[in-house]
Structures are given as C-alpha cells and as structure tokens.
Amino acid sequence: MRIACLEDDLVQSSVLKEWLEADDHICHAFDNSDSFIKTLRQESYDLLIMDWELPKSSGIELLTWIRNELELDTPVFFITHRDSEADIVEALEKGADDYLAKPVSKEVTLARVKALARRHAGRNLRKDILEISEFRLDKETKQIFWAGQLVETTEKEFQLAWMLLSNVGRLLSRDHLLETIWGFGPELVTRTVDTHISRLRRKLGLVPENGWRLKAVYHQGYRLEQLPDL
C-alpha cells in the first residue's frame, strides 16, 4: 500500500516508516500539517496514519477536513498518546477507521494496517480474482478477460488495469501509479503512465460507448468511471 504518515516526532516517524517499508509498503512521512494538507490535495494514498497532537492543526481537525472538504474515504488510522475512551470514541465517530494508543508494537501496528487494507478492499471477494462488469482479472496468471475473451497485455498493463478496475471512481495520482507499479519515485519525470493508460484504454475499450470513461485529471492523475446505463 501507499501510505502517508503524519507524525511530528521524527524518531517515531522514522521507526514507523522503517516498519512499514520492511513490510513492503510505500511510506511518505510528514512532520507538519501544512505539507500533509498540500500533498493530499494532489496525491492519492491507500492509507493515512496520523497523530492527534500536532503543532498547528490537531489530528481531529485534519480528519474533519479530509472527510468533509476533500471528501476522501481513504482509511485513517490514528496512532497517538491520547488513550481515553472519550478520545477514541470521538475519533471513530468523526471518521477514523482505527485507533492505537502509544506506545505501539511493530507486530500489532502492522497487523492493524493489514486489517485496514483487507477491509477497504472488501468489495473484492477474492484477492487474486477481480470481476467487475464484463471484465475478469486473474492475478495469478496475469490474464484479463473482456466479455469472455482473453486480452493480450503486458505485466505492467495488467497491474495498471488491476489498480484502475479495483478503484473505479477514485482519483489515482500519477505518482501513486508510478510508485506502486513501476517502483519509481515521484521525482522522476516520465510519460510511462500516460503511454500505458492510452494502450489500456484501447485494449479494454474503456470509452463512453462501452460504458466507461478513463479520465485524465489535470496535474493530478487518472480516474476510471463507470457510466450509468442510458
């Protein structure tokens, strides 16, 4: 998963980032709410991990902004020193998905992260098979079937199709796609994503006449939309 972590304690942030990356996640660490907010306006993540007590905006204020202003349903995981029952209830009622009080252990933290990933992807009945509309994707064989017919794709095209079709209606930033599929950092300037998007649009018929729109969002990324039947 691509994870954004907001923690102003640099030692704790470094430890958490080390844990997550050792477990094969991509972790972007932020030590202030300003940079966190600026990035969330442009980038997409699979999970947000936040502290409650921050120098400028509290974690609860940021959570409210994420849910109400950005209208993101990205899972939010609080890791904080605040451990009262009232604090936990407030965070969960305002849109947090999980809550851990510090100090935390590596094993429990990673287990909670995995549980959140499973819960958020719960619409897929099997993690190795994705079926949506006329498409069927098999992660084990790296095959895509469109209306029962096999579509020849490269491995990267398959991975891109899996990300798009498992996130219909969600904006995925270009850097998110680059990091997750190609392993490139956001500092790389490349047309790789755009080229593969164009190929996939053609191969899978992701066009309005087939009930789909694969839309480029200026300066951000791509959103695959399933159009309503007329």
pLDDT of 124 reads 43
- 158-211 pLDDT, tens digit per residue, is 999 999 999 999 999 999 999 999 987 665 667 889 999 999 999 999 999 999
pLDDT of 128 reads 87
Which segments of the chain belong to CATH 3.40.50.2300? Answer: 2-120
pTM for this model (two decimals): 0.82
Distance between terminal CA atoms of the chain?
Answer: 36
- 107-148 pLDDT, tens digit per residue, is 999 999 999 988 876 544 457 899 999 999 999 999 999 999
Residue 121 token pair: 């992807």
DSSP notation for 143-209: EEEETTEEE---HHHHHHHHHHHTTTT-EEEHHHHIIIII---TT---SHHHHHHHHHHHHTT-SGG
- 50-62 pLDDT, tens digit per residue, is 999 998 889 999 9
What gap in Å lies between CA 139 and CA 158, rounded to an integer? 8
What gap in Å lies between CA 96 and CA 66, rounded to an integer? 10
- 77-88 pLDDT, tens digit per residue, is 999 999 999 999
Residue 87 DSSP class: H
- Domain 154-226 belongs to what topology? Arc Repressor Mutant, subunit A (1.10.10)
- Domain 2-120 belongs to what topology? Rossmann fold (3.40.50)
Which segments of the chain belong to CATH 1.10.10.10? Answer: 154-226
